[in-house]
Structure 1
Amino acid sequence: MTIVLNVRQRIRSVGVKYLDSLTSRDFRSLWLASMCAGSAHWALIVARGWLVFEMEGSSAWVGWVTFAAMIPRFFLSPFAGLICDRFNRKIVLTTVFAMSFFHNLVLAMLVLLSDIQVSYVVVLALIDGSSRAILIPASSSLLPNLVRKDQLLNAIALNATTVHGTRLLGPLLIAPLVVTTGVTGTFLLSSVLYALGGVQVLFIRTHSAGVIDIKRSVLQNLLEGLSYLYHHRFLRPLLLLTVAHCALTMSFESLLPVLSLKKLGAEGGGFTYLMMAVGAGALIGVIGLSGIQHGSNRGQILLVLGILSGVAPIGLAISPNLYTALAAAAVMGATQSTFMALFAGVVQSIIPDAIRGRVASVNNLHIGGSMALFNLVNGRLADSLGAPVLLVIPGVIFVVVIGCSYAVVTLRKFYREGITIE
């Protein structure tokens, strides 16, 4: 009996440690909605990338479509942040889920009617990217209002499972569909997932909005988040480091189809399995992060993750077969997703709620813009240079960058003591 009680207490303590923020009803609803949206998003990326690669037989077009899906995060992010601080963030999220539902439905119908062209996919990718440009700051600015302050890092880490861990769940859900029904069933499934996610958003009861100064111009309000970040001694270099991380280590989606086909000898299934491996690693990584309850070692963890994020793509590039490639992809997912979740947790713990949406949109602008550009460049160069080269060189560069970041006083203090300097 004593052993049973000890086991139960152990399980309960682990649950409290890793799932603490899920005790909030509103956060559970947001988490489930984000899980649906993340699964639909990654399912779409895999299916859309393989559809374009099959249609054109070129990584260049995959790069263009990926660029089209990501570039709205650069152009629309400032306005998205303003919207998230001006209106009820729950209503904003509901609208975005509806947009994504209809986008995937239209894409499915075009494929089903054999009326699909690459130009249509590019236009629809722009629409999808526009909705994502609003969804990300809306969700991230709403989240801190749904949990206690001591639950914030746990909540952000758990929410990161819906962003990075769904790289596993999304491709896993569509793997049978890609083999049997093709991409049409995938796009329809994505629509269903967005519909289910929208219902969960409606269950959120907390009213959350920022503060817009009506005495100031639209431009002044737009620039407030940018001004806050760029005048912050700690957040400015941290943001620039994270931009380098995303550009150099995370802009690999346009490389995976050609890597799967030409180096590993796998078809669309290989591409799907690689994305699943990235997702599995990401899921393990962010769950591990959710158990961190003290912030003193955050800087050390970020430094180590940064180094590993640069090394992992090199492992993928030199993998001799699909099995070792899957292992390397899992390490990529674990290190990159945990790095990003930790970055988000640090930023959210510092910024004021009044401008949270605009700050989140500035992050989105920098991160999305850099990844859009580098995916485009990688897609254009992959057919001539090969995917392995485009994985190795940026990986090495980022390891050098993370080493040089130690020279920045505020980052060095964070690495050593976990202290964030105002």
Structure 2
Amino acid sequence: MVADLREGWSYVRKTRWLLASLLFGTVFVLLILGPLEVLLPFAVKDQLGGGAQDFGLVLAAFGIGGALGALLISSRKLPRRYLSVMTLMWGLGSIPFAVLGFATELWLMAAGAAIAGATGSAAMVIWGTLLQRRVPDHLRGRIASLDFFVSLLLMPVSMALAGPAGNLFGVSAVFVVAGVGPAFICLVVIWFGRMTSDEIANPLDQEEPAVTAV
């Protein structure tokens, strides 16, 4: 088991786009999950004067946006710049999440949640496809397990920090950081992971060349 784990980690360490994506996923969970799970009810109550029904509508918008984003991206071929598009969807797509921290209208808060959900789910579809298409068969289980571990690693930390951060800096400030932070980090991730060159060197879902009859 130790040898298998070592082999999986060695592959991740040598595969820059994969390592960069996993590190970005860890930070993304840290920034986003706590505010969404812990502070959103307070934002709904304090900014909208709403209750459980309004909170449920915002969460529903997040989920519906996620479903639509996943359906849209999965019904098309992978973009040629699939690594950059995936990372930018996570990074720039989180900017509307900041709206949840200062919106005073339910529709605006729901719209921000829906857009963030759509881009996040669309990026997840590309990510899941890449795990199947670009990770060797004999390593796929180990990489998927590492992906799951990374996704859960800072989840409790994010939830634990969200409340104190909201009290110290204010709920609005926490949502702004959670929304804007990934937008800056994703640019570093694209550079560190050498994604722009990697995706060109390893094209996916390209059109097959036409065969001309002789």
Q: Structure 1 length as normaliser, TM-score?
A: 0.44
Q: For residue 15 of structure 2, what is the aligned residue in structure 1?
A: 232
Match of 1:419 among 194, 202, 206: 202
* Aligned counterparts of 1:305 and 1:349: Cα–Cα separation in 2: 20
Q: For residue 207 of structure 2, what is the aligned residue in structure 1?
A: none
Is this contact kept in 2: 1:405–1:412, CA < 8 A? Answer: no
Unmatched 5+ stretches in structure 2: 204-214
Q: What does residue range 389-408 of structure 1 map to in structure 2 within 5 Å?
A: 389-408=173-192
Match of 1:326 among 91, 104, 110: 110
Give 1:234's aligned amino acid: W
Give 1:331's aligned amino acid: I
Q: Alignment identity in percent?
A: 23
What is the aligned length? 202
* Aligned counterparts of 1:354 and 1:226: Cα–Cα separation in 2: 13
SS of the equivalent of 2:80 reads: helix
SS of the equivalent of 2:135 reads: coil
* Aligned counterparts of 1:220 and 1:303: Cα–Cα separation in 2: 31
Q: CA deviation at 1:357?
A: 2.2
Match of 1:368 among 130, 148, 152: 152
Give 1:290's aligned amino acid: S
Q: CA deviation at 1:418?
A: 7.6
Match of 2:41 among 220, 235, 257: 257
Q: Please identify, of 243-252 and 344-353, the stretch whose mean Cα deviation from structure 2 is larger.
A: 243-252
Q: For residue 220 of structure 1, what is the aligned residue in structure 2?
A: 3
* Aligned counterparts of 1:354 and 1:225: Cα–Cα separation in 2: 10
Q: CA deviation at 1:250?
A: 4.1
* Aligned counterparts of 1:268 and 1:294: Cα–Cα separation in 2: 39
Q: For residue 25 of structure 2, what is the aligned residue in structure 1?
A: 242
* Aligned counterparts of 1:256 and 1:233: Cα–Cα separation in 2: 35
Highest RCO, 1 vs 2 (Cα 8 Å, sep ≥ 6) = 2
Distance change in 2, residues 1:236/1:313 (3 Å): same
Distance change in 2, residues 1:361/1:394 (3 Å): same
Q: CA deviation at 1:223?
A: 3.7
* Aligned counterparts of 2:29 and 2:96: Cα–Cα separation in 1: 14
Distance change in 2, residues 1:311/1:246 (3 Å): same
Q: For residue 206 of structure 2, what is the aligned residue in structure 1?
A: none
Q: CA deviation at 1:328?
A: 0.8
Q: For residue 270 of structure 1, what is the aligned residue in structure 2?
A: 54
Is this contact kept in 2: 1:283–1:334, CA < 8 A? Answer: yes
Distance change in 2, residues 1:338/1:372 (3 Å): farther
Choose 1 or 2 for highest CA Rg: 1
Q: For residue 305 of structure 1, what is the aligned residue in structure 2?
A: 89
Distance change in 2, residues 1:221/1:380 (3 Å): same
Is this contact kept in 2: 1:249–1:309, CA < 8 A? Answer: no
Is this contact kept in 2: 1:249–1:394, CA < 8 A? Answer: yes
Q: CA deviation at 1:373?
A: 1.5
Unmatched 5+ stretches in structure 1: 1-217
Q: What does residue range 74-223 of structure 1 map to in structure 2 within 5 Å?
A: 218-223=1-6
SS of the equivalent of 2:104 reads: coil
* Aligned counterparts of 2:41 and 2:78: Cα–Cα separation in 1: 40
Q: Structure 2 length as normaliser, TM-score?
A: 0.82
Q: CA deviation at 1:295?
A: 4.8
Q: CA deviation at 1:414?
A: 4.5
Q: CA deviation at 1:315?
A: 1.9
Give every structure 1 segment of 4 or more consecutive aligned residues whose post-TM-superposition deviation is greater than 4 Å: none
Give a deviation string over 1:169-195, Cα, whole Å, max 9, x none: xxxxxxxxxxxxxxxxxxxxxxxxxxx
Give 2:123's aligned amino acid: F
* Aligned counterparts of 2:39 and 2:45: Cα–Cα separation in 1: 10
* Aligned counterparts of 1:269 and 1:397: Cα–Cα separation in 2: 29
Give 1:349's aligned amino acid: R
